[in-house]
Structure 1
Amino acid sequence: MGEWEGEGWRWIFKWIKKLFAWEEDLVGDLLVVVNQSPLRANTRDVRNVVGQRMEKDSSPSYLGRLPWRNRAPPRAQLHLWFILQGILNTKERLHRLKFAGIEDDRCALCMEEPETIDHLFFSCKISSRFWYFCCNQWNLSLCLPKHTRMCLLSWFGNPFKNFDKQLWISMFYVITWSIWDIRNKIIFQAFMPNWEFEKRRHFWRLGIWVKGWCPDFPFSPMQAMEIFGDIRGWKTPRYPSKGLVLELP
C-alpha cells in the first residue's frame, strides 16, 4: 500500500487489472484526498467517527450543548455562530445578492473556487494548509471535513482532556477568526499575507485569548508563539466558566 520516505508516507496502490483512463482519473482524485492528511512516523493515530450521527448531532439544540462557549471573545463566538448558521457575507453570497463592488464570487484566498462558507474555511487549499499546520503542532494528522458542522463535531471529538481540551477548542475559534481576518484584509486593504508570519501571529492571538478565560495561564502571547509544545499539557487548578477577553487583536 505504500512506503516511508524520510518522515513522510508515500501511498502506492496496486491493482489486479489495468485501469481505464477514467479510472486513473479517479485514483488521482483519491490520492489528492488521502494526501490531505499525511501520515507521519512516530505520531499517534487517532480515529474520530462522526458519520451516522451527523443528522442528529448537527441540530441547533445539540450544537448549543457542546462545550464550546466562553473560550473566545464574544465577537469571535458570534462569528462562529454566523458560520454555523450559513449567514456570513462571503463573496459568493454578496455576488448572488448583486452587492455593489463585488465583481465575482471567487475565493479571496485561492482565487479558484466560489467563496462559500464551506470552501473558504475548510476546503480552500490555502486555509486547509493553515488547519494542517496547527494540527501538526499537536502531532496530529487531520482529515479535514469539507462541511462546517461536521468539521466542528470532528474537532470536538478530540483525544485531549482538561486544559488541553479547552486549548484545542479555543484553537478552532482562533483559526476561523484568523482566516476571516486575513480574507477581509485581502479584499478591503489589498493585503499581501506573509503566511509564515500569519502562522506565528495565530499562536500569539491564541495566547491572548487563553489568558482571557484562564487568568492563571502563566505564559505570555510571545511564549505561546515560540514554545507552544511546552504549553500543551500545562496543569491548571481551575479555569472560570465565563470568558474575560474584551478585545480582539
Structure 2
Amino acid sequence: MGEWFGNSWVWNLQWRRLLYDWEIEDLRGLEHMIQLNEPKRDTEDGVLWHSTEVASYPTKCIYAKFNDSPGSSLPNSIAPIIWKNFIPPRAKLTIWLANQEKLKTGDFLVEKGIITQQNAWCPFCRNEIESNSHILFVCRFAWSAWMEVLKWWGLSAPLHMQFSKFSIQWLGLADGRRHRHFWALMFGCIIWSLWYERNLIKFERKIPNLQNFVSSLRIRIGIWAKEMMGSFGCAPNAIYNADSFIMYS
C-alpha cells in the first residue's frame, strides 16, 4: 500500500490485474482522495466527528445522515431489504449492485467498450439489449418468474419496473413483520437467482427454461427460509414451513 520515506508517507497502490480504461478514472479519484489523508508517524489512529458534541463516534447518526443525504442512492426504505435480509452475502451484494444500476449487464459493457452491441442482447429473450431493469424485471422470462412466485400465494399485483419502487411494492404484499422478513428473503433470492441463471446461460451455454428455473427457485427459497428460521430460533412451522414450501406444487 505504501511506505515511509523519512517522515513522509508515499502511497504505492498495486493491483492483481491490469485495469480497464474505464477504471483509470476511478483510480485517479481514489489517488486524489488518499493523497489528502497522509498518515503521521508515532500517532495513534482515531476518528474525529464534527457534527455532534459527543466523545464517541455516533454510528447511528452517521448512518442516518448517509442514507438521507440528497445524493444517497440507498434510502432508508431500501437499505433493510439488502443489509437486514436473511440471505447469503453474495445475494446481498448482487441486489446492492442492482439497486445501484451497477450489474455488469450488456448495456454497461457496451458503454465501457468491452463488448460490441451484437454481444449485448438479453440471454433470456434475445429481443432487447440487456440492462439492469430488463434482465431482472422487464424481460418476459424474468417477469413470468415473478408472477409465478405470486401465484404460489394466490396473489397478483401490478408492480413497477424500477428497482426501488418494485422492492417497496413487493414488501407491501407481506402480512406482518415475520412475513415481511420472508418476502424480503424471496425478493433477494429471486434477484440473485435471475442473475445466476443469466451467467449460466452466457458463460456455460445453458438453455433458458422457465419451468426448470421456477422449480429450482422454489427449492432455493425453501432452503434459504430454513436458514432464516434458524436465525430467528423459530419452531419448524414458524413463518412458513420451508419443507412443505419446497414440496408444494
TM-score, normalised via structure 1 length: 0.62
Comparing both chains, which one has the higher relative contact order based on Cα–Cα distances under 8 Å and sequence gaps of 6 or more? 1
Task: Report the Cα offset of residue 85 of structure 1.
Answer: 0.7
Corresponding residue number in structure 1 for 2:206: 191
**Percent of aligned positions with the same letter in both sequences?**
27
Local SS of the residue matching 1:214: helix
The yes-or-no answer on 1:180 pairing with 2:164 is no
The equivalences for 1:193-208 within 5 A come to: 193-208=208-223
Corresponding residue number in structure 1 for 2:151: 136
Local SS of the residue matching 1:61: coil
Corresponding residue number in structure 2 for 1:166: 181
* Alpha-carbon separation, structure 1, partners of 2:133 and 2:81: 22
Counterpart code for 2:108: R
Structure 1 unaligned residues grouped into runs of 5+: 1-55, 229-249
Corresponding residue number in structure 2 for 1:226: 247
Corresponding residue number in structure 2 for 1:49: none
Larger Rg: 2
Structure 2 unaligned residues grouped into runs of 5+: 1-69
Q: 1:117 to 1:162 in 2, by over 3 A?
A: same
CA contact (8 A) 2:98 2:132 kept: yes
CA contact (8 A) 1:204 1:221 kept: no
The yes-or-no answer on 1:63 pairing with 2:77 is yes
Corresponding residue number in structure 2 for 1:6: none
Corresponding residue number in structure 2 for 1:97: 112
Q: 1:107 to 1:185 in 2, by over 3 A?
A: same
Count of residues paired in the alignment: 172
* Alpha-carbon separation, structure 2, partners of 1:182 and 1:65: 25
* Alpha-carbon separation, structure 2, partners of 1:173 and 1:64: 12
* Alpha-carbon separation, structure 2, partners of 1:64 and 1:110: 29
After superposition, what is the alpha-carbon deviation per residue over 1:195-219, rounded to whole angstroms, capped at 9, x for unaligned? 2222111111111111222114637
After superposition, what is the alpha-carbon deviation per residue over 1:109-128, rounded to whole angstroms, capped at 9, x for unaligned? 11111111011111111110
Corresponding residue number in structure 2 for 1:213: 228
After superposition, what is the alpha-carbon deviation per residue over 1:85-138, rounded to whole angstroms, capped at 9, x for unaligned? 111100111122121587432111111111110111111111100000001111
The Cα RMSD (Å) is: 2.5
TM-score, normalised via structure 2 length: 0.62
CA contact (8 A) 1:204 1:225 kept: yes
Q: 1:113 to 1:207 in 2, by over 3 A?
A: same
Q: 1:217 to 1:109 in 2, by over 3 A?
A: farther
